[in-house]
């Protein structure tokens, strides 16, 4: 153990003396934090808390792949490992020293990120320092094995960079570190559960914004530990002192055996976890934080005012006659109504909704949606969304319903009704309708929304067209039938 500690301290000294290593170890994570916090979260403390987990995940992954892994390849290329080979130091000590050096460098980096998020973005550190320490430690342990395994296989820096990219990009884009997991197609969500980064992001966001204890994510932590252990054992068995060294057939077979627990964990988590339910808890926590800070535009969940029973109770969503003008809308079932804009992906479009007097066919009230579409996002949108599931963004089985109908009027522009399904992910199916000066009823069969079968509907969005400018429209008597 002593040789591993000494080599680890030597590696840390080398990092502290190298400007490039210092940049990627300490400054690069800060750049991610400020880009996510200032550009994507617009400085909102609640959204920064939601994005803090992905920032830490990207940090520990980046250190493992682009710091720890490439450093090991460099040492092999330069012949530095040959000197250790002549000493009474085994491959296990080299792998352990790399793991320890990476860990000791990551802890102050994560602490620095948390401190900057609290000081500059006023993020409330609901996670607690102890839970933050545990998650950061488990994350660093998990991804170190992946980086060292690639370092053991690659012969040159060029090879290592290719291998790193092949693994880095799926971990980055399919884990929720860049795009919220439930925004991805359902089959992608199932593939994502095989990725360790998914479990780290889920645990961070659940604790940071969902208000849940760390113990609620014991399964995710165990999955990370198993993946990390398998990765480190792989790195140990595939370790080479020199690029001319070959990996023995016995070690290759053992490496294949070590992949089995990793796959078992993925299948087990697929059978016992629910990404959409985890996202619902995160969304509710984020919503509570926004209302507590007085800056959220989200509407209260409509499920507080009406039943959210089985599909047999589906029918009228809202006639907007049951609340006073100026209030937020209520729904007969599901999680209810909420404002939805492209701000969640860095856009600047805005929207507001409120119940107003005078609905279709002389009814008491209607829902007025106003706002402004601002260019900048890849697909600008703003409007009012109804979530039919018990929790926001969780799928609801509306297969017993054949169509959706509603009344609309407005400023004469063409608007869209978009249907989000767990099988389509972020790509909604849509139909256009014109909100003219007089009330007009629209009815769309669910079958007219391409790819929607009614069994996994996550949301119905009434949105302004993606054309810059102000908009104003009203809807009434929204129902499935």
Give residue-wise pLDDT tens across range 449-473: 887 777 788 899 999 988 899 999 9
pLDDT score recorded for residue 86: 65
Q: Is 460 helix (H, G, I), strand (E, B) or coil?
A: strand
When mean pLDDT is compared across 261-265, 272-276, 459-463, the lowest value belongs to 272-276
Residue 67 has pLDDT above 70, yes or no: yes
Band (425; pLDDT cuts 50, 70, 90)? low
pLDDT score recorded for residue 375: 86
Distance from C-alpha of 265 to C-alpha of 251, rounded to nearest angstrom? 22
Using only C-alpha atoms, what is the Rg of the chain? Answer: 26
Residue 405 has pLDDT above 90, yes or no: yes
* Closest by CA position to 132, among listed 22, 68, 55, 229: 55
What DSSP element (H or E) covers 477?
A: strand 469-480
β-strand pairing of 414-421 with 403-410: unpaired
Cβ distance 102 to 164 under 8 Å?
Answer: no
β-strand pairing of 414-421 with 429-434: antiparallel
Cβ distance 354 to 305 under 8 Å?
Answer: no
* Closest by CA position to 281, among listed 342, 202, 222: 202
Chain mean pLDDT for the chain: 80
Token pair of 386 as six digits: 């109804």
Cβ distance 471 to 413 under 8 Å?
Answer: yes
- Identify which has the larger pLDDT, 21 or 319: 319
Token pair of 420 as six digits: 């989000």
When mean pLDDT is compared across 68-77, 241-250, 306-315, the lowest value belongs to 306-315
pLDDT score recorded for residue 414: 94
- Identify which has the larger pLDDT, 49 or 371: 371
Distance from C-alpha of 350 to C-alpha of 200, rounded to nearest angstrom? 32
- For the chain, the residue count is 481
Q: Name, in order, each residue with C-beta under 8 angstroms of 162's C-beta and a sequence gap of 6 or more.
A: none
pLDDT score recorded for residue 290: 47
Q: What is the mean pLDDT of residues 243-254?
A: 72
Residue 274 has pLDDT above 50, yes or no: yes
pLDDT score recorded for residue 18: 67
Band (174; pLDDT cuts 50, 70, 90)? confident
Distance from C-alpha of 143 to C-alpha of 227, rounded to nearest angstrom? 8
Q: What percent of the chain has pLDDT over 90?
A: 25
When mean pLDDT is compared across 222-236, 280-294, 396-410, 417-431, the lowest value belongs to 280-294
pLDDT score recorded for residue 160: 81
Cβ distance 63 to 106 under 8 Å?
Answer: yes
pLDDT score recorded for residue 186: 64
pLDDT score recorded for residue 312: 41
Q: What percent of the chain has pLDDT over 70?
A: 83
pLDDT score recorded for residue 371: 94
Residue 261 has pLDDT above 80, yes or no: yes
* Closest by CA position to 419, among listed 447, 477, 466, 458: 458
When mean pLDDT is compared across 303-317, 383-397, 455-469, the lowest value belongs to 303-317
Distance from C-alpha of 432 to C-alpha of 452, rounded to nearest angstrom? 16
Q: What is the mean pLDDT of residues 103-125?
A: 90
Distance from C-alpha of 261 to C-alpha of 267, rounded to nearest angstrom? 10
- Identify which has the larger pLDDT, 295 or 325: 325
Residue 324 has pLDDT above 60, yes or no: yes
Which domains does the chain carry? 2-286 (no CATH), 297-480 (2.60.120.430)
pLDDT score recorded for residue 423: 67
Token pair of 252 as six digits: 């290759």
When mean pLDDT is compared across 225-234, 255-264, 304-313, the lowest value belongs to 304-313
Distance from C-alpha of 70 to C-alpha of 21, rounded to nearest angstrom? 11
Q: What is the mean pLDDT of residues 375-404?
A: 84
Band (308; pLDDT cuts 50, 70, 90)? very low
Q: Of the spans 124-128, 171-175, 326-330, 419-423, which averages the highest pLDDT?
A: 326-330
Q: Name, in order, each residue with C-beta under 8 angstroms of 36's C-beta and a sequence gap of 6 or more.
A: 48, 51, 54, 55
Residue 5 has pLDDT above 60, yes or no: yes
């Amino acid at each position: 153990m002593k040789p591993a500690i000494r080599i680890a301290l030597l590696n840390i000294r080398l990092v502290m003396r190298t400007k490039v290593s210092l940049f990627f170890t300490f400054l690069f994570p800060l750049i991610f934090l400020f880009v996510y916090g200032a550009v994507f979260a617009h400085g909102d403390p609640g959204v920064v808390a939601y994005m803090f987990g992905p920032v830490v995940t990207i940090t520990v992954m980046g250190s493992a792949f682009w710091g720890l892994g490439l450093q090991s390849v460099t040492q092999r290329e330069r012949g530095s490992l040959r000197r250790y080979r002549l000493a009474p130091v085994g491959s296990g000590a080299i792998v352990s020293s790399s793991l320890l050096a990476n860990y000791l460098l990551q802890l102050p980096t994560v602490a620095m990120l948390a401190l900057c998020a609290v000081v500059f973005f006023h993020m409330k550190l609901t996670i607690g320092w102890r839970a933050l320490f545990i998650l950061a430690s488990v994350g660093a342990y998990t991804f170190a094995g992946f980086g060292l395994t690639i370092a053991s296989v690659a012969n040159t820096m060029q090879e290592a960079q290719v291998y790193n990219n092949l693994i880095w990009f799926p971990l980055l884009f399919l884990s929720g570190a860049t795009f919220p997991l439930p925004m991805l197609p359902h089959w992608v969500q199932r593939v994502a559960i095989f990725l360790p980064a998914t479990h780290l992001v889920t645990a961070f966001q659940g604790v940071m914004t969902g208000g849940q204890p760390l113990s609620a994510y014991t399964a995710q932590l165990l999955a990370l530990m198993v993946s990390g252990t398998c990765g480190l054992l792989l790195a140990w068995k595939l370790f080479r002192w020199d690029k001319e060294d070959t990996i023995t057939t016995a070690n290759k077979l053992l490496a294949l055996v070590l992949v089995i627990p990793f796959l078992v964990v993925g299948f087990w988590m697929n059978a016992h976890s629910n990404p959409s339910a985890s996202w619902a808890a995160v969304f509710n926590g984020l919503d509570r934080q926004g209302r507590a800070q007085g800056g959220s535009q989200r509407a209260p969940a409509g499920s507080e005012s009406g039943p959210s029973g089985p599909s047999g109770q589906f029918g009228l969503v809202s006639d907007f006659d049951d609340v006073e003008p100026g209030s937020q809308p209520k729904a007969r079932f599901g999680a209810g109504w909420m404002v939805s804009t492209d701000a969640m992906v860095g856009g600047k479009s805005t929207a507001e909704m409120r119940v107003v007097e005078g609905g279709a066919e002389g009814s008491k009230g209607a829902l007025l949606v106003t706002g402004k579409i601002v260019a900048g996002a890849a697909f600008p949108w703003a409007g009012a969304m109804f979530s039919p599931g018990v929790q926001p963004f969780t799928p609801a089985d509306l297969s017993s319903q054949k169509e959706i109908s509603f009344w609309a009027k407005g400023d004469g522009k063409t608007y869209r009704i978009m249907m989000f399904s767990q099988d389509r992910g972020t790509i909604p199916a849509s139909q256009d309708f014109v909100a003219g000066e007089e009330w007009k009823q629209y009815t769309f069969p669910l079958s007219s929304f391409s790819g929607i079968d009614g069994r996994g509907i996550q949301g119905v969005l009434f949105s302004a067209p993606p054309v810059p400018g102000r908009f104003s429209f009203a809807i009434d008597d929204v129902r499935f039938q």
